[in-house]
């Protein structure tokens, strides 16, 4: 057998056009008496990938100011489930980036024209904070209608349940997209021994006859790009989301 046949060579693209991306996370909220925030990896992994692509990246939240990781996703929480999330640990201990957790930009200070893409993280707080935030809905619509890449991850995709374009139609209408699945919600409910969320993205999305909502198996990496809209099912899909954003921005 020719050993040369076993040689694999890989030379991926390593230079990308200069771009600027807004990573958007939720402010903290109360859920069943617990403080919840955003899922660590769903912001820090795309952030890491964007920085490695040479992009400028800002972190914002609807109200600005301090933001927190969900305790479940915080790698430095002894009771958390992701102690090996080295990227999130590195982010919070970085001399510059870690300080952003204490003082994020407010969406009121964001000029859509300054950015090429927006990437919204999920977590425990978005289902609580995003539903009635009309300013946030408008910001997402403005990004999309300005021709910007619009990326939503996990519970961040809940924005597609409510975000309306300037003509009054839902951004999700006519789109194929994904988000946190009911099968995954059921896993969370079993973990906590209660119904954690009052409503779920999948159930609500399937009530819209004008949209196409898809999911993979529970906790399987899965992401979809439909034109300028990129969605990812959950935290295990964060790296797929950032890959799709970088591909889209390289076109």
Does some domain include residue 184?
Answer: yes
pLDDT at 11: 86
Q: What is the DSSP letter of 112?
A: G
pLDDT at 116: 98
pLDDT at 14: 80
Does some domain include residue 9?
Answer: no
pLDDT at 12: 80
Evaluated on CA atoms 56, 61, 67, 68, the torsion sign reads negative
Q: Which residues contact 107 (CB under 8 A, 6 or more apart)?
A: 24, 60, 61, 62, 64, 135, 136, 139
CATH number of domain containing 40: 3.40.50.880
Cα atoms in the Cβ-side hemisphere of radius 13 Å centred on 94: 15
Give the integer Cα–Cα distance in Å for 29 and 62. 12
Does some domain include residue 109?
Answer: yes
The pTM of the full predicted model, rounded to 2 decimals, is 0.95
Structure tokens at 6: 């076993």
pLDDT at 3: 62
pLDDT tens-digit profile of 94-144? Answer: 999 999 999 999 999 999 999 999 999 999 999 999 999 999 999 999 999
What average pLDDT is seen over the chain? 96
Res. 31 pLDDT band, cuts 50 70 90: very high
Average pLDDT score over residue span 167-180: 98
Does some domain include residue 5?
Answer: no
Give the integer Cα–Cα distance in Å for 181 and 219. 9
How many domains does the chain divide into? 1
Residue 17: how many CB atoms within 10 A of its CB? 11
Give the integer Cα–Cα distance in Å for 51 and 48. 5
How large a percentage of the chain has pLDDT more than 90?
Answer: 94
Of 132, 145, 126, 109, residue with least CA distance to 229: 145
Give the integer Cα–Cα distance in Å for 76 and 85. 9
Residue 44: how many CB atoms within 10 A of its CB? 27
SS3 call for 152: strand
pLDDT at 156: 98
Residue 13, pLDDT above cutoff 80: no
pLDDT at 144: 98
Residue 226, pLDDT above cutoff 60: yes
Give the integer Cα–Cα distance in Å for 190 and 100. 34
Does some domain include residue 49?
Answer: yes
Give the integer Cα–Cα distance in Å for 43 and 152. 10
Residue 2, pLDDT above cutoff 60: no
Does some domain include residue 233?
Answer: yes
Does some domain include residue 6?
Answer: no
pLDDT at 175: 98
Does some domain include residue 8?
Answer: no
Structure tokens at 175: 């789109």
pLDDT tens-digit profile of 74-84? Answer: 999 999 999 99
Domain of 241 in residue numbering reads as 15-249
């Amino acid at each position: 057998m020719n050993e040369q046949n076993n040689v694999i060579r890989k030379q991926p693209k390593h230079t990308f056009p200069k771009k600027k991306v807004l990573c958007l996370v939720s402010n903290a909220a109360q859920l069943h008496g617990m403080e919840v925030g955003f899922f660590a990896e769903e912001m820090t992994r795309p952030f890491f990938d964007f920085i490695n692509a040479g992009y400028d990246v800002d972190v914002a939240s609807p109200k600005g100011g301090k933001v927190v990781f969900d305790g479940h996703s915080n790698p430095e929480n002894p009771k958390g489930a992701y102690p090996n999330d080295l990227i999130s640990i590195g982010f919070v201990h970085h001399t510059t980036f870690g300080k952003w957790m204490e003082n994020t930009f407010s969406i009121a200070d964001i000029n859509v024209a300054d950015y090429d893409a927006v990437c919204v993280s999920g977590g425990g707080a978005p289902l609580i904070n995003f539903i009635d935030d009309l300013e946030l809905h408008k910001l997402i619509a403005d990004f999309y209608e300005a021709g910007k890449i619009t990326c939503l991850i996990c519970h961040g995709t809940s924005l597609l349940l409510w975000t309306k374009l300037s003509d009054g139609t839902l951004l999700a209408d006519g789109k194929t997209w994904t988000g946190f699945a009911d099968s995954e919600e059921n896993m969370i409910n079993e973990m906590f021994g209660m119904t954690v969320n009052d409503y779920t993205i999948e159930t609500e999305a399937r009530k819209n006859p004008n949209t196409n909502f898809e999911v993979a198996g529970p906790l399987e990496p899965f992401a979809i790009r439909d034109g300028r809209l990129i969605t990812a099912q959950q935290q295990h899909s964060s790296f797929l989301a950032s890959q799709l954003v970088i591909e889209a921005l390289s076109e």
